[in-house]
């Protein structure tokens, strides 16, 4: 076979990921809060963007037109007399209100404040600060006391004394070196410490975690109902007390991206676009761009790029709004029974079904529902919540897995705690309701919901 080189023309269709397309995809994935922050940033960087003001009178429009004409010459000179940089940083930034807000003290600040009030000498203050600096965010001490004594060149007894002082601070249990010590410190503070609780914490923590109460009772030679009472007390303690003052535990509020309200028997879908500003193209810069002979080539290219970016941003925001509305409208139409009656009536749903109804690709539906929340008469839900698999029933239709989980939870909540139902018994009860589900599936759903096993749920 002879190999030769040749040149020929060929037509191909390819999807090119242009910067504008990437921006549109990113905007579609943004939540309401993220989009609001993104718009504020673009307003600072792009001079062609401005906020849409309420309509004014004709006289005000004439005055504004005259002011714009006077601004044009100044702006043209501005861009011709300076080097063009592709950033817009000349606007004065006002300090954020967040800079004036107080914040909750961190764990270390809280401990240092108590140490300052409690220590009795400079040396104890130094040792205490060293120990506090060696406490992790969960409240546990991460350094050996001998190492502290060696590094600070102080007796070990003084280090132990400083640690005992810190372990008396709030939150209770802080400064412990392991989980048993943390729990014992809390029992000591609440005056609940006794020999049985101490023995269970020191010797039977693994059995307690696995709910092996019979084994603990046999080992301690006490009634099992007494073991259960002590174990209930231990479970009320905080295994990670430091997280009470951790920044990772800050409350985060959710702003709904879509509202659903029932008006005259029909559900109305409203996209929450009131929290970010309305954008329009600045008329002054738009008129400048059409005066081709008034500024340099670099200034012209800069203005053309910013003009195109502004128009594309406005279109992308509108496209996001329409896509989010269509997807939410489709979900509401399919899940009407859920909105009327509750989670038991939720229908199985996948991305393909919504994509076919909206006439878009499945990936578009996935992006439109990512990190988005919808406020409904049944409560606040993530849009992804409405997508669930289906389980065969004895009827003609399938039942949503979320509906089955809700039924399973109700069955367990109403069971006799002295004789809790097994997974097989729950499976039979669900079959009586027309749902075909195996014991393994019941166990799987139960574990996903964080519901313990039959033995762990038993009350003596």
Q: What is the pLDDT along the chain (460 residues), one digit of tens a residue?
A: 577 777 878 787 776 667 777 888 888 888 888 888 888 888 888 888 888 765 544 444 544 555 555 555 555 555 555 444 444 344 445 565 555 555 678 899 999 999 998 888 889 999 999 999 999 989 999 999 999 999 999 999 999 999 999 999 999 999 999 999 999 999 999 998 888 999 999 999 998 888 888 899 999 999 999 999 999 999 999 999 998 886 644 566 788 999 999 998 899 999 988 767 788 887 777 777 776 666 677 777 888 888 888 888 889 999 999 999 999 999 999 999 999 988 888 888 999 999 999 999 899 999 999 889 999 999 999 999 999 887 766 665 788 888 888 899 999 999 988 889 999 999 999 888 888 888 998 999 999 888 988 888 888 8
Conformational region of residue 456, where left means phi above 0, alpha means psi within -120 to 50, and beta covers everything else: alpha
Instruction: Give residue for tokens 């979320």.
Output: 402
Q: Under a CB-based contact definition with an 8 Å cutoff, are residues 142 and 134 in contact?
A: yes
The whole-model pTM stands at: 0.69
**Nearest CA among 124, 126, 129 for reference residue 111:** 129
Q: How many CB atoms lie within 10 A of CB 398?
A: 15
**Closest listed residue to residue 106, CA positions, set 130, 129, 137:** 137
Determine contact, residues 28/319, Cβ cutoff 8 Å: yes
**Interatomic CA distance for residues 404 and 391, integer angstroms:** 9
Specify the 3-state DSSP secondary structure of 116.
Answer: helix
- Is the sign of the CA dihedral 208, 213, 216, 220 positive or negative? positive
- What is the maximum alpha-carbon separation in the chain? 99
Q: Where are the domains of the chain?
A: 107-245, 390-457
Strand pairing of 266-271 and 258-263? Answer: antiparallel
Q: Which residue has tokens 């002011």?
A: 67
Q: How many CB atoms lie within 10 A of CB 124?
A: 18
> Locate tokens 């389980």: which residue?
391
**Contact yes or no for 402/346 (Cβ under 8 A):** yes
CATH number of 390-457: 1.10.10.60
Of the candidates 132, 140, 88, the residue with the CA atom closest to the CA atom of residue 112: 132
- As a 3-state breakdown, the chain gives helix, strand, coil percent values, each rounded to 5, of 55, 10, 35
Nearest Cα residue to 267 out of 370, 358, 376, 346: 376
| Two structure tokens written together for 43 | 């307003």
CA 430 from chain centre, in angstroms, equals 34
- What value, to the nearest 5°, has the Cα angle with vertex 42 and ends 36 and 47? 140
């Amino acid at each position: 076979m002879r190999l030769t080189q040749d040149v020929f023309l060929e037509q191909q269709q390819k999807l090119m990921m242009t910067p504008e397309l990437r921006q549109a995809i990113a905007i579609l994935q943004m939540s309401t809060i993220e989009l609001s922050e993104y718009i504020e940033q673009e307003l600072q960087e792009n001079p062609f963007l401005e906020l849409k003001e309420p309509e004014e009178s004709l006289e005000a429009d004439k005055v504004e037109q005259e002011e714009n004409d006077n601004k044009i010459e100044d702006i043209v000179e501005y861009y011709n007399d300076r080097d063009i940089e592709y950033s817009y940083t000349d606007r004065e930034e006002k300090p954020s209100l967040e800079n004036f807000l107080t914040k909750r003290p961190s764990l270390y600040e809280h401990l240092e404040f108590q140490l300052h009030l409690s220590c009795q000498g400079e040396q104890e203050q130094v040792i205490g600060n060293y120990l506090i600096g060696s406490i992790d965010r969960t409240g546990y001490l991460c350094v050996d006391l001998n190492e502290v004594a060696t590094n600070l060149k102080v007796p070990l007894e003084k280090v132990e004394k400083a640690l005992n002082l810190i372990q008396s601070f709030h939150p209770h249990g802080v400064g412990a070196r392991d989980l048993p010590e943390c729990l014992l410190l809390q029992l000591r503070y609440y005056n609940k410490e006794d020999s049985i609780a101490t023995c269970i914490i020191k010797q039977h923590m693994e059995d307690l975690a696995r709910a092996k109460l019979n084994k603990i009772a046999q080992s301690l030679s006490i009634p099992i109902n007494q073991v259960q009472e002590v174990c209930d007390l231990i479970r009320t303690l905080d295994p990670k007390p430091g997280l009470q003052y951790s920044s990772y535990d800050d409350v985060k509020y959710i702003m709904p991206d879509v509202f659903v309200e029932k008006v005259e028997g029909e559900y109305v879908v409203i996209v929450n676009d009131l929290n970010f500003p309305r954008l329009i193209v600045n008329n002054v810069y738009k008129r400048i761009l059409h005066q081709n002979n008034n500024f340099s080539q670099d200034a012209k290219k800069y203005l053309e790029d910013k003009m195109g970016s502004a128009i594309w941003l406005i279109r992308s925001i509108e496209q996001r709004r329409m896509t989010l509305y269509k997807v939410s409208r489709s979900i509401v139409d399919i899940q009407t029974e859920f909105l009327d009656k509750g989670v038991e009536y939720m229908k199985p749903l996948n991305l393909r079904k919504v994509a076919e109804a909206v006439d878009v690709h499945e990936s578009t539906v996935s992006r439109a529902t990512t990190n988005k929340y919808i406020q409904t008469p049944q409560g606040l839900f993530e849009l992804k919540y409405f997508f669930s698999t289906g389980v065969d029933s004895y009827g003609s239709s399938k039942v949503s897995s979320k509906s089955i989980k809700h039924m399973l939870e109700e069955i367990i909540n109403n069971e006799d705690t002295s004789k809790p139902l097994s997974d097989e018994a729950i499976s039979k009860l669900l079959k009586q309701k027309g749902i075909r589900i195996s014991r393994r599936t019941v166990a799987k759903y139960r574990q996903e919901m964080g519901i313990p096993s039959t033995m762990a749920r038993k009350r003596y």
